[in-house]
C-alpha cells in the first residue's frame, strides 16, 4: 500500500486529530460514509488497526516503511513502542515540521524533496533522513527557499517546539539537542497497540 494522497479530512474524521497530516479539523465528529453514525462495537483487532493507521497517516508512511521502522525499533532494545515513536519523530520531514518551518508533515516533505533544507550546511533531499543530536537544520541560501520558510515560521502548525529542538528565527536554523522524548509526541496514540498489531501479524 503506497502513501495516501486522498482527502485528508476524511481520514481525520475516521481516526481523530492528526496534527502532522492537516491543520484543518473536521466539522462532523463522526466517521464518513453511510454507516458513520452507527455505534458499532469494535473488535480488538479493529482498535489495534486504527492505532496503526493513525501512525501511518500522521507521519505519511507507506505500510512497508512503517513495518521497517517497527523492525528497527525491535532491534533497538528497551521499549519497542517508545523506540518506534523516537525513530519517527527524528525523521527530517517531521523535524522540519516540529521546528515550524512547514505547516504540516506533507508540506515539510515537499520542502525537503525540493532541496530547500540543509543539514550541517549540506542539502539533504531525503525526508526519511534520521536527524541526530548535534546536527543543525537550516534553509538553503536562496531567496525563494528563505521566503517560504519565513512565512511558515510566522504560522507554525503546532504552537510549541519540543524540548529536543531549538529554533533561531533570525538565522532560520534549528538545532537538534537530543533524541525526541515521548511526552513531546503531538499525536494521541497508544504505541503499544501498534507493536501488538505487528507482533500478531508475525
Which distant-in-sequence residues (6+ apart) come within 8 Å of 202 by Cβ? none
Q: Residue 202: which pLDDT band, with cuts at 50, 70 and 90?
A: low
Alpha carbon separation from 190 to 28, 38, 74, 102, 187 (Å, rounded):
24, 24, 16, 26, 9
User: Model confidence over 21-80: pLDDT tens digits?
Assistant: 665 554 555 455 544 455 567 788 988 999 999 999 899 999 999 999 999 999 998 899
Cell readout for 163 is: 524540548
CA distance 117 to 114: 8
In 125-164, DSSP assigns E strands to: 136-139
- What's the pLDDT score for residue 159? 73
User: Model confidence over 144-190: pLDDT tens digits?
Assistant: 999 999 999 988 777 789 999 999 999 999 999 999 999 999 888 99
User: Model confidence over 9-25: pLDDT tens digits?
Assistant: 566 666 777 776 665 55
How much is the pTM? 0.85
Q: Residue 1: which pLDDT band, with cuts at 50, 70 and 90?
A: very low
Map out the domains of the chain with their CATH numbers: 8-87+185-201 (1.10.1050.10), 91-178 (3.10.290.10)
User: Model confidence over 103-134: pLDDT tens digits?
Assistant: 999 999 999 999 999 999 999 999 999 999 99
- What's the pLDDT score for residue 186? 86
Contact 111, 144 (CB under 8 A): no
Decide if pLDDT at 192 tops 60.
Answer: yes
Instruction: Determine the average pLDDT of the residues in 96-104.
Output: 94
- What's the pLDDT score for residue 155? 81
Q: Residue 28: left if φ>0, alpha if ψ -120 to 50, beta else—which one?
A: beta
Amino acid at each position: 500500500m503506497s502513501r495516501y494522497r486522498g482527502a485528508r479530512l476524511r481520514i481525520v474524521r475516521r481516526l481523530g486529530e492528526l496534527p502532522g497530516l492537516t491543520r484543518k479539523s473536521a466539522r462532523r465528529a463522526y466517521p464518513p460514509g453511510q454507516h458513520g453514525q452507527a455505534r458499532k462495537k469494535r473488535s480488538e483487532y479493529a482498535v489495534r488497526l486504527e492505532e496503526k493507521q493513525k501512525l501511518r497517516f500522521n507521519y505519511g508512511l507507506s505500510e512497508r516503511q512503517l513495518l521497517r521502522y517497527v523492525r528497527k525499533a525491535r532491534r533497538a532494545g528497551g521499549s519497542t513502542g517508545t523506540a518506534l515513536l523516537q525513530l519517527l519523530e527524528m525523521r527530517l520531514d517531521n523535524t522540519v515540521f516540529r521546528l515550524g518551518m512547514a505547516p504540516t508533515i506533507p508540506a515539510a516533505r515537499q520542502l525537503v524533496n525540493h532541496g530547500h533544507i540543509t543539514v550541517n550546511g549540506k542539502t539533504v533531499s531525503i525526508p526519511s533522513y534520521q536527524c541526530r543530536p548535534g546536527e543543525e537544520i537550516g534553509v538553503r541560501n536562496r531567496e525563494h527557499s528563505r521566503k517560504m520558510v519565513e512565512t511558515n515560521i510566522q504560522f507554525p502548525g503546532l504552537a510549541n517546539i519540543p524540548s529536543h529542538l531549538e529554533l533561531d528565527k533570525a538565522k532560520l536554523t534549528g538545532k537538534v539537542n537530543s533524541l525526541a522524548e515521548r511526552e513531546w509526541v503531538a499525536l494521541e496514540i497508544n504505541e503499544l497497540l501498534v507493536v501488538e498489531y505487528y507482533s500478531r501479524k508475525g
